[in-house]
Each structure stands twice: as C-alpha cells, then as structure tokens.
C-alpha cells in the first residue's frame, strides 16, 4: 500500500486552508473562474506527492485544478484516479430548503462517531459573479468542523449542466483518492442536475418534506427512480404520516424496482432536532452492503464510467464540429449563399 492515496488521511492536519479567493497566478485567464488559481502542469508531480502524504492544502489545490479542468487538473487526476473507486459515494438530493445541508451535517457527525472519515461536495447554485457557493451553507458547515476527518468543498454550478456531472465526478474521485471513507454529494435540487449527479453516487437519498401542499405534485417526474432511499425530513412537522403513505403508494404504483431486488425504504428524520439520523445511517450502510453483496456496486461503477467515456467522446466530437464551423472556408461560402437567399446552391453545396 506504499504510496497509496488512501493512507493520506492518517497524516492530516486540521487547518483552515481553503484555496485563496480571488483570481491569482499568471495563468489565470478567462477560462479560470474567480476563486481558482491555475498552476503549471510541471508542478503536478510535487502536488501529487504532497497529496499522497495527506496534506490538506495539496488536496484543496488539486480540487481547484480538477474543478476548473486545467491541464494540471487533468494530469493530477490521471495520477490519482487509480487510488479512487473505494469511497462510498452518497448523493443527497431534494428540493431547496428540504434540509439537505442540515441533514448532511448530522450525517457527518454520525459517521464520524462510527469512525468514518467524510468528505462533502456541495453543489451550489451560484452567481456567475462570484463563482463561489452559497456562503451560508459553506460557513455553516465549515464552522462545525475543525475535524481532520471531515472535508467540505463547495462547487459552483455555473449553469453548466452537462459539465456538472463530469466536474463533480472529478472532485469525487479526488476526494476518494485522498482516502475519505464516505463522499457525500449535496445537490441543488433543481433541474436535471440531481439525476446527473445521482449517476456518480452509489447510494442516492431523496429528501421530501411534509406540508408543501400537494405532496405528490412536489415530486418531479423521473426523480423517484434515482432514489435508493426516500427520506422524509422535517418529520417534526405535521403531515409526515400522509407523505409517507403517498410515497409508499407512488413506489408501488410506479412499479419502482431498482435492480438487484432492493426495496427502497422510506425513513423519517428531523435534521433540525437530530432525530432518525442513526436509523438513516444504518439504512445507508444497509444499501452499501446490498451493493457489495449483489454485484450492484460493480454494475453502477461500470455505468458511471461508461457515462464518463460517452461524455468524453461526445465532447471531442462536438469540439471537432465547432472547429469545422470556425475554420472551414467552405462553411463560410455556404453561409454567404444562404445570406444571399440562394437556398438551392447552399443546399447543393452542403450535401456534396
Ligand atoms: N422543522 C424543521 N426544520 C428543518 C429541519 N431540517 C432543516 N430545517 C430547516 O430548514 C431550512 C433549510 O435547511 P437547509 O439545510 O439549508 O436546506 P437545503 O436547502 O435543502 O440544504 C433551515 O432553516 C433549517 O433549519 C427539520 O428536520 N425540521
Ligand atoms: Mg443546502
């Protein structure tokens, strides 16, 4: 196990060493969002070396490069990727305000109590202006932990849905390679991002809350399918019983049957009061056992990597198409014909 990234955690020092804010570094250009500092790929071997020694600062820096998809980030990921694939990746999703962050904080404490190390990737809807995350969430979470076994990282979505899953994956693999036992992905809970992100997680928790009016309506189409566990948070509020009944009915009616014979449990929690957390952690561990025993772990891993490769190939082909649009004089000629309203010639040219 020498040189294995998984050993890195033993050497962790607890420091407030988030990456410096604001643009910096000579190479920080338009492609680098604020908050990221681009490093020279030549510095990567040293960075990876310090990463493997468990230096948090090296982890932070690597994450920044990976998130910004810099050449250094790609190179670091290549080096670290073989050490990944061992963490239990848990997705936490559900509508904004459902209590995801609060619940994640509770789960961190619970898993730390069980001797697990935990990293969190909080995917935040952020203004493109700051490129940062919802500060409230981050500060709230950071304040709780000066614990070396916990690492929290916020990620901006930057409205980039297609790229979100892949960027998240890079972050998750990096944290995994660093040696965290559990990597939690907290999603924004809007749009398709949760479906995307669920593909990266081995276990996905879908949060619902009672008292949102017509509860059934609150569940977006297709969302139920991504859930391995349903969590009714804010169960301290009225209506939890009805919601549970409705959800159970939806699971039955939808014929929802994840592969491998797993029965999606419906759990009740009050993240605010810290109730039901142990049961939830047990259920998540139960799902992990199920994954490992039934071969489902490997199947999901395959599906995730296939998705990754497909995204990669798609991206390359699109880049080629873009180049064609920009660099091909025939394309300009075609456009000129169209501008002249010469449809017949344009079509003739485009099909030859
Ligand atoms: N009553 C009640 N409030 C909760 C519970 N969990 C979270 N909240 C509150 O709901 C609000 C949104 O929580 P947050 O964790 O930020 O939700 P997120 O947007 O899903 O991450 C906060 O004011 C929390 O204090 C709960 O179990 N019961
Ligand atoms: Mg949140």
CA of 101 to the centre of ligand 2 (A): 4
- The set of long-range contacts for 218-222, using a CB threshold of 8 Å and a minimum separation of 24, is 218/95, 219/250, 222/195
The pLDDT of residue 216 is 52
SS3 of 25, please? Answer: coil
Task: Give the span between the Cα atoms of 89 and 120, in whole angstroms.
Answer: 10
Cβ < 6 A, ligand 1 pocket:
96-102, 233-234, 236-237, 270-272
Strands 203-208 and 88-93: parallel
CB 44 within 8 A of CB 79: yes
273 CA closest ligand 1 atom index:
27
Which ligand gives the minimal distance to the CA of 271? 1
**Residue 153, Cα to own-chain centre: how many angstroms?**
10
Q: Scanning the structure block, which residue is given the tokens 């566990």?
A: 229
Structure confidence at residue 85 as a pLDDT band (50, 70, 90): very high
Answer yes or no: is pLDDT of 9 > 50: no
The pLDDT of residue 57 is 94
- In the chain, the domains with their CATH numbers are 1-82 (no CATH), 84-294 (3.40.50.300), 307-350 (no CATH)
* Nearest alpha carbon, ligand 1 atom 1: 234
Q: Order of strands across the sheet with 203-208?
A: 150-156, 118-124, 182-186, 88-93, 203-208, 229-232, 266-268
The pLDDT of residue 252 is 82
Residue bearing the bigger pLDDT, 248 or 132? 248
140 CA closest ligand 1 atom index:
16
Using CA atoms, how far residue 6 sits from 63, 141, 151, 304, 331, in Å, is 16, 24, 15, 21, 52
**What pLDDT, in 10s, does the model give residues 231-260?**
999 999 999 999 999 888 888 877 666 667
According to the per-residue pLDDT averaged within each range, which of 123-127, 160-164, 178-182 is highest? 178-182
Query: Which of 154-168, 236-250, 284-298, 315-329 has the lowest average pLDDT?
Result: 154-168
Answer yes or no: is pLDDT of 289 > 50: yes
**What pLDDT, in 10s, does the model give residues 167-185?**
789 999 999 999 999 999 9
Answer yes or no: is pLDDT of 348 > 50: yes
Task: Give the span between the Cα atoms of 167 and 146, in whole angstroms.
Answer: 26
Task: Give the span between the Cα atoms of 107 and 129, in whole angstroms.
Answer: 31
CA of 111 to the centre of ligand 1 (A): 20
The pLDDT of residue 60 is 94
136 CA closest ligand 1 atom index:
16
Q: Scanning the structure block, which residue is given the tokens 């949060």?
A: 207
- Average pLDDT value for residue range 19-40: 45
CA of 66 to the centre of ligand 2 (A): 22
Q: Scanning the structure block, which residue is given the tokens 């209590």?
A: 99
- As a whole number, the mean pLDDT across the chain is 80
* Nearest alpha carbon, ligand 1 atom 26: 234
Ligand 1 pocket test, pick from 125, 272, 275 with the greatest ligand atom count within 8 Å of Cβ, gives: 272
Query: Which of 104-113, 165-174, 236-245, 269-278 has the lowest average pLDDT?
Result: 165-174
CA angle 66, 71, 74 (to 5 degrees): 45
* Nearest alpha carbon, ligand 1 atom 19: 97
Query: Which of 111-125, 204-218, 260-274 has the lowest average pLDDT?
Result: 204-218
Which ligand gives the minimal distance to the CA of 268? 1
186 CA closest ligand 1 atom index:
21
98 CA closest ligand 1 atom index:
20
Annotate 113-150 with b (16+ C-beta within 10 A) or e (fewer). eeebbbbbbbbbbbeeeebbbbeebbeebeeebeebbb
Ligand 1 pocket test, pick from 91, 92, 93, 99 with the greatest ligand atom count within 8 Å of Cβ, gives: 99
Answer yes or no: is pLDDT of 107 > 70: yes
CA angle 164, 166, 172 (to 5 degrees): 100
> pTM score > 0.85 for this model?
no
Give the total residue count for the chain: 352
CA of 98 to the centre of ligand 2 (A): 8
Answer yes or no: is pLDDT of 133 > 50: no
Structure confidence at residue 293 as a pLDDT band (50, 70, 90): very high
Structure confidence at residue 2 as a pLDDT band (50, 70, 90): very low
Residue bearing the bigger pLDDT, 83 or 251? 83
The pLDDT of residue 278 is 98
Which ligand gives the minimal distance to the CA of 121? 2
270 CA closest ligand 1 atom index:
27
Structure confidence at residue 34 as a pLDDT band (50, 70, 90): very low
């Amino acid at each position: 196990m020498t040189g294995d990234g998984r050993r890195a955690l033993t050497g962790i020092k607890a420091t407030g060493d988030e990456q410096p804010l604001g643009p910096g570094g000579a190479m920080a250009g338009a492609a680098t969002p604020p908050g990221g500092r681009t490093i020279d790929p030549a510095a990567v071997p040293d960075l990876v070396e310090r990463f493997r020694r468990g230096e948090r600062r090296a982890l932070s820096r690597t994450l920044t490069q990976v998130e910004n998809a810099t050449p250094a980030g790609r190179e670091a990921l290549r080096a670290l990727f073989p050490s990944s694939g061992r963490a239990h990746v848990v997705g936490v999703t559900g509508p904004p305000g459902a209590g995801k962050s609060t619940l994640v904080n509770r789960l961190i404490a619970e898993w730390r109590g069980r001797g697990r190390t935990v990293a969190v990737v909080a995917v935040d809807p952020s203004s493109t202006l700051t490129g940062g995350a919802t500060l409230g969430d981050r500060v709230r979470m950071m304040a709780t932990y000066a614990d070396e076994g916990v690492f929290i990282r916020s990620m901006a979505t930057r409205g980039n849905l297609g790229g979100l899953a892949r960027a998240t994956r890079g972050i998750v693999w990096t944290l995994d390679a660093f040696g965290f036992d559990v990597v939690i992905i907290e999603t924004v809970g809007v749009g398709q991002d949760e479906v995307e992100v669920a593909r990266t997680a081995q276990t996905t928790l879908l949060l619902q809350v009672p008292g949102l009016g017509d509860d059934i309506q609150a569940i977006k189409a297709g969302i139920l399918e991504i859930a391995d566990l349903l969590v009714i948070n804010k169960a301290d509020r009225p209506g939890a019983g009805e919601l549970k009944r409705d959800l159970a009915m939806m699971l039955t009616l939808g014929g929802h049957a994840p592969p491998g014979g797993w029965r999606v449990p419906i759990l009740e929690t009050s993240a605010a009061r810290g109730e039901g957390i142990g049961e939830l952690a047990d259920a998540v561990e139960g799902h992990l056992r199920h994954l490992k025993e039934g071969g489902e772990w490997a199947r999901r891993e395959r599906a995730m990597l296939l998705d990754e490769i497909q995204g990669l190939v798609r991206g390359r082909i699109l880049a080629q198409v873009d180049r064609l649009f920009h660099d091909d004089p025939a394309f300009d000629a075609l456009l000129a014909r169209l501008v002249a309203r010469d449809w017949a010639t344009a079509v003739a040219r485009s099909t030859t």
